[in-house]
Amino acid sequence: MPAPRVKNTRVEAREPINPFLPDLCNSQALFLLVLVAELLALLLTISASSGLRDFSWDKLALISVQVQWIVLFSAMALCRMRFWLGQQTQVQAGTASYVLVLVITLVLSTLGQWIIYGASGLLFVDDQHFTFDYWLLLDNLVIAAILSGILLRYLYLQQQLRNQQQAEMQARIQALQSRIRPHFLFNSMNAIASLISTDPDTAERVVEDLSELFRASLAEPTLIPLERELTLCKHYLEIEQLRLGRRLQVDWQIGSYNSDVKIPSLMLQPLVENAIFHGVEPMPKGGKITIKVSQNDKQLSIVICNPYMLAKKNVQNHEHSQRHNRMALDNIRRRLTAHFGSAARLSSSAENGIFTTYIFCPLAV
């Protein structure tokens, strides 16, 4: 019997769950650091020149080069250590970051005296022997100790606030995603119970469809392929088809789209459920749900249409139904905003007995 083949897997470093510091490698962060470093160099130059009257552009250039080196090398080192820092305690991560900046300052300040001041001859005595300025090195370390402590504290608080916002967002997304109406579960279980003795194959298929829906609702909220979301909707509609029969008609109008396009999990299923619960089910003869999916170069478009009927006899129930529908749409809108920001839009309209929901979101692959 041949031995089973073991698939080689590569373990990739993931983003720390709660990073200690922001990502200092992106272009925006680097630009801000360079700007702050240049302002600091200007401030140090003014202080060393006893005001603007004795301001020296040459001294600004020397200080600017040294400060920029220290800031950029520190940012690169902290960026490289970001994953490791996120796995340490706050005291360990803070101490390591602080010591790292001071070590980089010590090394670059020492090299700076050899390269910048040595090359310009500012620290050479008459016998051409190099004189190392320990007081200048101490000044740089003290300045770096004070400013890096303030800046690291600010970056730490900024990242902790961002971590808290992300945690709250994930909690809201999980709460929104895990909501399945009890009536759907009860109706599905009743349908399964009635089919066990008469049509066990269909009952087994309904159990499988129901398990797929619950597996998706309990999964970690994330982006999934559009094809996977459409499959979940089909599982849901197959279950509802058993209950409503010919009263439920579904028109799938799926255009061509990139197989790598992703949308938030369980985004379409609640909208289809709303279309049945608020549109098809109250109609005596049922109705048709139309699901349109199309894609252009920049965005994905999803349109869901269903009939609706004004409940004139029971205004209170109608207002409750409308309020429940608006809450469901708001939940989907919040999830779209959480994943795509302002680039995603959800809107709806009700005209001539047809309620239409429009979703436009950027292509996420």
pLDDT for res 167: 57
57-80 and 90-112 helices, crossing angle to 10° = 140
For 339, residues 6+ apart whose C-beta sits below 8 A from its C-beta are 223, 264, 364
Structure tokens given for 268:
């379409």
Mean pLDDT for the stretch of residues 20-38: 83
The one-letter code for the residue type at 27 is: S
Distances from the Cα of 144 to the Cα of 42, 66, 82, 149, 275, angstroms: 15, 12, 20, 8, 62
Residue with the two structure tokens 């549109």 = 279
pLDDT for res 7: 40
Structure confidence by residue, pLDDT tens digits, 292-337: 999 887 889 999 999 987 654 444 455 555 655 676 777 788 778 7
Q: Is the predicted pLDDT of residue 9 greater than 70, yes or no?
A: no
Strand partners, 225: 262
Residue with the two structure tokens 């009743």 = 190
* 47-57 exposure pattern, b = at least 16 Cβ within 10 A, e = fewer: eeeeeeeeeee
**Helical (H) or strand (E) element with 165:** helix 134-177
For 22, residues 6+ apart whose C-beta sits below 8 A from its C-beta are 29, 155, 158, 159, 162
3 state DSSP class of 98: helix
For 321, residues 6+ apart whose C-beta sits below 8 A from its C-beta are 278, 311
Q: Is the predicted pLDDT of residue 289 greater than 90, yes or no?
A: yes
Length of the chain: 365
The one-letter code for the residue type at 87 is: Q
Q: pLDDT band for position 283 (50/70/90)?
A: confident
Q: CA–CA separation, 198 vs 130, rounded Å? A: 99
Structure confidence by residue, pLDDT tens digits, 223-271: 888 888 898 888 888 888 888 888 999 999 998 888 788 888 878 888 8
Mean pLDDT for the stretch of residues 77-100: 85
